Amino acid sequence: MEQKSCLRVAILISLFAISCGRELKSAHKDNLPVYNHTLAMTLVEYASASNFQVSRPTKHSGLQCLKPGLHVGRQVSGLVDHQDSTLIDQVTVLGFEMIELIVDVEHCLQGFVGVAKNLNAIVIAFRGSASIMNWIEDLYWKQLDLKYPGMPEAMVHHGFYSSYHETTVRPGVLHAVKLAKELYGDINIMVTGHSMGGAMAAFCALDLAVNQKIQNVQVMTFGQPRIGNTAFTSYYSQLVPNTIRVTNYHDMVPHLPPYYPHLTEKTYRHFPREVWLHGNGSSTSSYPVEKVCDGSGEDPNCSRSVAGTSIFDHFTYYEVKIISGTPGSCKIVMDPRVASYSTQDLAGNFVLYRDPSAASVVEVKTETSTPSNFI
């Protein structure tokens, strides 16, 4: 076992060693999104909340989700934490209206769609991989094996693409977005996710912008891997320009799959814009420096300036624990009384749907439909 681990380390060092060389240029708009710390602190909570477990109903809505890992007493953007149990009540709590919870049991994927009053936006959040260690190991060897539809020379990995496009996730998301827009009008859409959930968030945002013709789509992901080649990132940054990728210290996942500048279109590449959280060199302060990176997507002065060697830096962003529960598990806890809220297919995948028109609608502003550039 020890020899196997040493071999993996040696291979990883070799991969990073040959990753230096001529940099490729990725076409992108000069109008890069503006980083907003307050928005990041809000969306990281939503990304964390996507690690839910379905539990017993409440007297208010008949539906709850247990969410281990939220800080006791924290109340941010509709995610409310009680002293005795951490729960997200699927009614209007602190201005957040849940529309749908989506659980693809077959592929161990889940997420939710709702409306946040304080953001004046529809929020879509995706959970990362439950089998995190196996998934990270697999990232080292993923190949660009799928031509992205309608984008010449754009290549992605089929596994990343299919997690959103070829599961029950996509129809669930589109159904919830349609309902939310019917009720709340043409408000902004903010898509978020952590780890594999970040990759799904990117494909979701691109789907909304290209196939659904929705212009006001914004993305912020945390610890997201690379998902496509240089041609793909050029298309993506033009079609979904309001995108922020947050990376943390030595988090290994943003370094994967590996980036080889000299392999032209055969290498993975990040799209802009990265914000790198890193130490400030002070032994008295644990709060990270937030470095806003350039528009290349592969700024050598940001996360690429350090080795991606830490799995622990992947689990916590802005002091919020995102990965929770038992590593490697894909366990869904469903109370029988929740059945009336659920639609289920033959594979066991289900959507928990709460009709928002039957409840009080959260008041949001609908004066503008233009992207807010994260400000």
> Is 359 within the bounds of a domain?
no
Q: For residues 159 and 182, what is the distance between their CA atoms, to the nearest angstrom?
A: 32
The verdict on whether omega for the bond into residue 8 sits within 30 degrees of 0, i.e. cis, is: no
Written as tens digits, the pLDDT of the chain (375 aa) is 445 444 443 444 343 333 433 343 444 445 789 999 999 999 999 999 887 654 444 444 333 443 332 222 222 333 333 333 333 333 334 578 889 888 887 888 889 999 999 899 999 999 987 777 777 777 877 788 899 999 999 999 888 899 999 999 999 999 999 999 999 999 999 999 999 999 999 999 999 999 999 999 999 999 999 999 999 999 999 999 999 999 999 999 999 999 988 876 789 999 999 999 998 654 445 668 999 999 999 999 999 999 999 999 999 999 998 875 444 455 444 444 444 555 556 555 555 555 555 554 445 554 444 445 554
DSSP 329-366: -------GGGGGGEEE-TTS-EEEE--GGGSPPPP---
> Is 90 within the bounds of a domain?
no
Q: For residues 200 and 127, what is the distance between their CA atoms, to the nearest angstrom?
A: 9
Going by their DSSP bridges, the two strands 188-194 and 217-222 should be labelled as: parallel
> Is 315 within the bounds of a domain?
yes
Does pTM surpass 0.85?
no
> Is 105 within the bounds of a domain?
no
> Is 29 within the bounds of a domain?
no
> Is 138 within the bounds of a domain?
yes
pLDDT recorded at residue 94? 57
- Residues pairing with 245 in the sheet: 221, 274
What single-letter amino acid sits at 274? Answer: E
CATH number, domain with residue 294 = 3.40.50.1820
In the chain, the number of structural domains is: 1
Catalytic residues: 195, 251, 314
pLDDT recorded at residue 170? 96
List the domain range (segments joined by +) for residue 273.
36-53+115-330
> Is 211 within the bounds of a domain?
yes
> Is 276 within the bounds of a domain?
yes
Q: For residues 228 and 29, what is the distance between their CA atoms, to the nearest angstrom?
A: 18
Q: What are the tokens at 254?
A: 């943003």
